[in-house]
Structure formats: structure tokens, C-alpha cells
Amino acid sequence: MDKVKQIIANVLEDNQKMTADQAAYLFEFKNKEALSLIKNAANELRKDLVGDKVSYIVNLNANFTNICDSFCIFCGFRRNDNEPDAYILDMNEFEPHLDYNVKQLGITEVCFQGGLYSKLKINGFKSVSLLDTYAELLSWVKDRYPDLHIHAYSPEEIEFLSVISGKSEQYILEYFKGSGLDSMPGTAAEILVDDIRRKICSKKLNTQKWVDIIKLAHKLEIPSTATIMYGHFETSYHKARHLEILRNIQEETNGFTEFIPLPLIPNRTHLKDRVIPLNSEDRLKLLAISRLFFGKDIKNIQASWVKQGFEETAEALDWGCNDIGGTLGDERITQAAGGCFGKGVTKEQLVDIITSKDRIPMLRDTLYLYQKEKQPQKILI
């Protein structure tokens, strides 16, 4: 216990950065006294760095296809193109949906991610090549709503398109930025240790390629989130190494806007009977250790209501978190894996989570600039 106290004192009192070995050591503790120390330290650091304001965003997730040429054993979303529930986004249906979300709900961000489907063709688009189709989706939105922030296409999708098109990752990122891309999800990271990646997502890009694409995006002034997907075969060391890689990137680029831990939902995946389910303490401890590990480098730590539920998300605000994500609108990936907390919420529900802990709710945009509430537009019929 003395070592736990010393690690915490190094961070809080001496402003030292926690090492990966120290983080791994903290991950191993399960007794209540150690958890209380970690929780209280994370909460203290949260208050010092960001105060009592807790942010949220009004946004829309649009998973444009669930057809995927790849295969990850933790995914319940993927379908083959001949399965009855396989789908591709239909723009004739999506357009009024987007209009409603912008004009009535006041979204400031739309997020596009989907399966890796080499034969993807979107109804209503003129593009022939796959790369142009991805770009047209961006420009289609920007033509209609120039001020809407587009958060799209993970490093995995960038590499996939590079292989298909023969174009470099830099060419693709510059092309997408010119077409309307504003920021990227830092997903497809899972665990940034290749031994683990080979077990859970062997067809995905390796650790170094993920790092290279994220750093390139940041260099091109395309910010991104940072994530971890945990609760499968990783050890405490693997989690700590993952955090270290993310912090090293942030020290070099300062391109991460936030850190979002994503606990595995195994219920409808190939991992259902192969992993021990996470408990609340596992999830909350990771959030707290992340706060202590990143310190000033990544100030925004997000709890995911769609994966943790309202009650645990509220509790996470006492474990170092200062953000609870977005309204999402139509999140499908967690739902497909067996998530049971819904695919979208109202901003009022998010505010209720925040105020239940006597924190100050703050509407934000993707880049963590606080926003004023907008009145819904009148739709003329």
C-alpha cells in the first residue's frame, strides 16, 4: 500500500509523470483501500485540471454500413453482404434524418464510421471509386451544412482505402480534409500491443501503422480522439503500455482532444464465453488510472454512457471523468454487440446525469469549446 501512496504522491505533489510500470502496478490492485486512494487522487486531479464543469455534446452517429471484408472476434456489428440484416446507408432516408438532427436537435457533429466493404456504393452518389465515395459522403454533408463538424474515418479505414486505391495515407487524409473532414475517431486502437491485436483483430493494421496514421493526421491539423478497447485478453501491462503509447503521441503532436476508454461488450460476439466480464470497479479504476497517467497531457477523460449506463457514468464523475460523450442519435455498433443502454439519448438526460453529482453541465463542440444553446429552427411545410 505504501507504494500505491508513493505513486499517487509523485503525481499529485511532485508533478511527476506516472510510468507504464507504475500504471500496471496500480491496475493489479483490487482491495477497497487501494481503490479508494486511486479514486480520490483521480478526483482531486480532475478538479485541479478542469474544475467542476462536465461537458457533453449533441451529436449524431451514422454507421454507414455493417458489411465488412474484415473480421474481429470482439465485433457483433459485422455482416456479410448476403445476410438479411446487412445494410448500406441510403441517402434518401438519411437526408431528412440529418435535417431533423441539425434543425430540431441542434447537433454540432456528425460521426461517420462503418464496415470495411470494398464494393461499397451509396445510393444517390455519383462516385465510381471507393475512395471518391468516402470523400463524397463528406462533401455531401458540407454542401448542406458547412458549419457541421464531421468526425469520421478511423486509422483502420484510412489504411483500408490506401490499400484499395493505391494512394498514400497522406494523400487520402489531405483529400478528405479538402472534402470536409474536421477530425478523426481514434478507434481501431483496441490494445496497441501486437501480441493482443493478433488474437482479437488479426486483419487490422498493426500498432506502428495505427500510430503513424494518427501522427500524420495530427501533423495535417486533423485532431482525433484517443481510445482503448479493453476487457478481453489484455493484462495490466498491456493496458499500461497502451496508455504510454498514447501519451508519447500526445507529447509529440498535442492532437488528441480526449481519452475514451471503451469496455468490451461481449454478449453477441465470439468472445461471449471466452472472457470474464468486467465489473464496475474494473471500468471505474481504468478511468481513474487514466486520469492520473495522462495528467495535463490529455485533460478530457470521457465515460461512455452507451457502454457503462447512466448510473455508472454518474459514478465515473467521482473517478476523474469530466465528460460524458454525446447524444449519439443512432449508435449501432455497441447495440449489435449486446449493449443494453440505448442507441441515443436526449441532451436533457445527459444534463441529469451531470447534475445528479452537483456538477456544472457544459454543452461543448468536438474540440471542447463550450457552446450556447441554440433554438430549434422552424420547419416550413
**Structure-block grid coordinates of residue 233:** 485478453
Q: What is the pLDDT of residue 373?
A: 66
Q: What is the pLDDT of residue 254?
A: 98
Q: What is the pLDDT of residue 60?
A: 97
Closest by CA to 239, choosing from 21, 46, 39, is 21
Look up cell 456528425; give the residue: 110
Three-state DSSP at 64 gives coil
Q: Quick one: what percent of the chain has pLDDT higher than 90? A: 88
Contact 55, 300 (CB under 8 A): yes
pLDDT beyond 60 at 253? yes
pLDDT beyond 90 at 208? yes
Question: CB within 8 A of 332, min separation 6: which ones?
Answer: 61, 63, 66, 77, 343
Q: What is the pLDDT of residue 336?
A: 60
**Which residue type occupies 287?**
L
pLDDT beyond 60 at 378? no
The string of DSSP codes covering 164-233 is: HH---HHHHHHHHHHHT--BB---S-S-S-HHHHHHH-TTS--HHHHHHHHHHHHHTT--EEEEEEESSS
pLDDT digits (tens, 9 = 90+) for 104-149: 999 999 999 999 999 999 998 999 999 999 999 999 999 999 999 9
Q: What is the pLDDT of residue 247?
A: 98
Domains of the chain (ranges; CATH) run 20-363 (3.20.20.70)
pLDDT digits (tens, 9 = 90+) for 36-79: 999 999 999 999 999 999 999 999 999 999 999 999 999 999 99
Q: What is the pLDDT of residue 381?
A: 41
Distance separating alpha carbons of residues 160 and 305, to the nearest angstrom: 29
Q: What is the pLDDT of residue 267?
A: 85
Q: What is the pLDDT of residue 212?
A: 98
Closest by CA to 297, choosing from 242, 229, 246, is 246
- Give the CB-side neighbour count of residue 168, counting CA atoms within 13 A: 6
Q: What is the mean pLDDT of residues 256-269?
A: 94
**Structure-block grid coordinates of residue 45:** 486531479
Contact 141, 110 (CB under 8 A): yes
Question: Could you give the maximum distance between any two Cα atoms of the chain, in Å?
Answer: 69
pLDDT digits (tens, 9 = 90+) for 299-358: 999 999 999 999 999 999 999 999 999 999 877 677 666 665 556 899 999 999 999 999
Q: What is the spatial order of strands in the sheet that 53-57 belongs to? A: 323-326, 53-57, 360-363
Exposed/middle/buried for residue 282 (C-beta within 10 Å: 0-12, 13-18, 19+): middle
pLDDT digits (tens, 9 = 90+) for 159-173: 999 999 999 999 999
What's the pLDDT band for 219 if we cut at 50, 70, 90?
A: very high
